[in-house]
Structure 1
Amino acid sequence: MKIKQLLSKAYRSLFLIHLPFYTNNILIIRLDNIGDYILFRNGLKQIRISDRFKNRKITLLGNKVFKDIAENFDNKEIDNFIWIDPKILNNNLKKIALICKLKLRAYHTIINPVHHRYINNDLFIKYINAKQAIGSKGHSRQPANQEKQLSESCYTELIDIPGDATFEFFRNVAFIENLTQLYNSQYKLEIALAKNKQEKINNSSKIRIVIVPGASAEFRRWSTKNILDLIINLNDEYNKKCIFYLTGSKSEIHLGEQICRNIPTHVTIENLIGKTTLLETIEIVNNSDLLISNETGTVHIAAALKTPAVCISNGNDFGRFNPYPSTLAENIITLYPIDNFYKNELYQTNVQKFHISDLDINDITVQSVFEAAKTLIEKVN
């Protein structure tokens, strides 16, 4: 107990330590997940070219899960990368070491674009002691007014952005435009990756379908039994012309095994779960005809690549991360357990009601996903 108290005291005292100078450098902090970064990353160029931040060196402190994307696609906008597992911020000793490392770099400006902030992360930013700390006024996760005030006091500037009824990409656009004062249409959702023409030639008669059976939480996963039935139905519908690719992380290997264990021999399927890097997964999605996925970062990757997708969602974070606005991605169909998600007059109500959804994702029928997949396949072909 004494060690914990000493570490806690040492952590709080870090704020009192100031370097006698600042560099002209910027630290951008994104410690959330792959999908969040996909919906933000195209704004990095706006920061780079803006009068406010041009000629500054930019460092990204990021969640290591999207390291491959940032280092391969965003290295022209970011000068330096620091990668961490965000869980270290729950460990005072590791957090103190990281703060000391960042303090010694004497950043002039910290930018935290995350719209749903937590006080522990805000205090972490405060203790780095940059001259400026810019955040999104967004939505502090602090219910108590006193904690909310403490959270907001960690910043020298808070940028007001639209509420949760606005899709996350457009909230990011609003933040970047207010931050940079650049109001134009250059901020697009895209990953600059050419289609593999040889892959298309080699499989010109095939329909390539990527399926993601995993998700960050069990309540967001459509059952493997449903996925198996869907694969068989699609394969039969298109006279065995489909090639199915299962993708996901190493923690989801068991899901792929459950599906493949019961796949009929006449179905062509490749289980890639736990076998591909993030960049390889992006390449596979880029050269596929369709993605079928639970609501994961892979749906946002598909949107950025202009790959048609069926998103299976229990309605969690409705309005913020789903459904995709047609103006942003016209080939993404999102399916929900109940029909009233599709009623415009209930949109605002659903945003409030399903910020955290308790609907059963398995109430979405195999037939409804099958019909959505058919619609997109036939639209593309």
Structure 2
Amino acid sequence: MKFNKILVVRSDRFGEFLLNIPAIRAIREAYPNAEIILFVNSSVVDLARCLPYVDEILECDKASNGFLKKLRFINSLKKFKFDAAVMLNPSKDFNIVTFLAGIPVRAGYDRKWGFLLNRKIMDNKHLGLSHEVEYNLELVSLIGAKTDNKAVILDLDMHEVDKFAAYIGIDKFDNLVAIHPWTSDPLKQWSQENFRLLAKRLIDELKLKILIVGTKDKIEKSKALFGDLGNSVFDITGKTGLRELAWCLKKCRLLISADSGPVHLASAVGTPAIALFRNDIPGKCSRRWGPWGDKHIVIEKPALSAISVDEVFLKAKEALKI
């Protein structure tokens, strides 16, 4: 079946979005002449603009909040005259609105009112049997999009990176290792004091510079943790959007992080990552959520408290070939 206009929805966070790049590219490869419109969370728009595979990007969170907005959104979908809609993450709202908009082919997971879809697969992701990239590719195969190209690559325009580096106070990116010590899920949090001790050892023993990254709500915590480590620490917590963060990570030799979005961002821009995982919850394990590719290191144990600073330090030396 040929599709001329395809709606693709991924309405969650940026880490999850990045792992959909191969699936979105597969749709473009299968339908090179189709118009592909991508609906993403507003926080992801800057990264989505780096994808050459889509024709238009819209903010799905603004489109679907509130009853009247949903009605207007349904009407706007009707005007687009989509042939197909692909919900890359289970979404009751989008299952409903794409059904009411009369989109002929609606593909997604058989969850959250999945009975409204006419092409669907079971959502067994909680079992953690495959990587998220593989799950996403399995889903888009429902509309005939299949590929052997599974690379997660984000094409960045780097021409403004030096200007941005001057703005945030980084004179050079030489010998820079990024640390992202935060996660939104307490179950995924390695001790923040451990991250501090790790940063200190990387500075004192390996003479590295450390880039601390995080969101605005972590500014004060970051100052308290890393503020006394001297001029070898560049703390850009809260100073970047996602595109600027991607620039910085691309310039780093390595990222060390809890299981969180920046791990996938580093992977997408070609920077090796050391990611810390717990493996006692199948749906949260590295087999599903680990950094994609073979240049990364995963340290995974049933309890994150079992991961020592020394173990991560030695893995950092291995990754940096020191």
TM-score bin (small chain): 0.7 to 0.9
Among 203, 208, 212, the alignment partner of 1:235 is 203
Q: Which runs of 4+ in 1 moved over 6 A?
A: 194-199
| Distance in 1, Cα, partners of 2:320 & 2:157 | 20
Count of matched residue positions in the alignment of Structure 1 and Structure 2: 307
| Distance in 2, Cα, partners of 1:153 & 1:37 | 24
Q: In structure 1, what is the equivalent of residue 260 of structure 2?
A: 296
1:95-106 equivalent positions in 2, closer than 5 A: 95-106=70-81
Q: In structure 1, what is the equivalent of residue 285 of structure 2?
A: 318
* Residues 49 and 118 of structure 1, relative CA distance in 2, 3 Å threshold: closer
Q: Which moved more, 1:292-301 or 1:212-221?
A: 212-221
Q: In structure 2, what is the equivalent of residue 246 of structure 1?
A: 212
Please report the TM-score for the alignment, with normalisation by the length of structure 2: 0.83
**Cα distance, 1:303 vs structure 2:** 1.8
Among 39, 56, 60, the alignment partner of 1:80 is 56
| Distance in 2, Cα, partners of 1:153 & 1:219 | 33
Identity percentage of aligned residues: 22
| Distance in 2, Cα, partners of 1:100 & 1:223 | 49
Letter of the aligned partner of 1:232 in structure 2? K
* Residues 186 and 34 of structure 1, relative CA distance in 2, 3 Å threshold: same
Larger radius of gyration: 1
Verify the 8 A CA contact 1:213 1:255 in the aligned structure 2. no
Verify the 8 A CA contact 2:21 2:153 in the aligned structure 1. no
Among 133, 149, 171, the alignment partner of 1:186 is 149
Note the aligned Cα RMSD (angstroms): 3.0
Are positions 1:67 and 2:45 aligned together?
Answer: yes
| Distance in 2, Cα, partners of 1:178 & 1:160 | 12
What is the SS of the residue equivalent to 1:77? coil
* Residues 217 and 191 of structure 1, relative CA distance in 2, 3 Å threshold: same
1:123-272 equivalent positions in 2, closer than 5 A: 123-137=96-110, 140=111, 151-159=113-121, 164-182=128-146, 184-193=147-156, 206-238=174-206, 241-261=207-227, 263-265=228-230, 268-272=232-236
| Distance in 1, Cα, partners of 2:82 & 2:247 | 36
Verify the 8 A CA contact 2:22 2:133 in the aligned structure 1. no
Q: Deviations over 1:249-297 (max 9, x none)?
A: 2122233222233x233x5111101111211111111111110111111
| Distance in 1, Cα, partners of 2:296 & 2:150 | 20
What is the SS of the residue equivalent to 2:80? coil
| Distance in 2, Cα, partners of 1:299 & 1:231 | 17
Question: Which ranges in structure 2 are unaligned for 5 or more consecutive residues?
Answer: 166-170
Q: With a CA cutoff of 8 Å and minimum separation of 6, indicate the structure with the bigger relative contact order.
A: 2
* Residues 275 and 323 of structure 1, relative CA distance in 2, 3 Å threshold: closer
Q: Which moved more, 1:93-102 or 1:304-313?
A: 93-102
Q: Deviations over 1:289-337 (max 9, x none)?
A: 110111111111222223111112234511553444xxx5222222234
* Residues 219 and 90 of structure 1, relative CA distance in 2, 3 Å threshold: farther
Please report the TM-score for the alignment, with normalisation by the length of structure 1: 0.71
Verify the 8 A CA contact 1:159 1:179 in the aligned structure 2. no
Letter of the aligned partner of 1:156 in structure 2? N
Question: Which ranges in structure 1 are unaligned for 5 or more consecutive residues?
Answer: 1-22, 143-150, 339-358
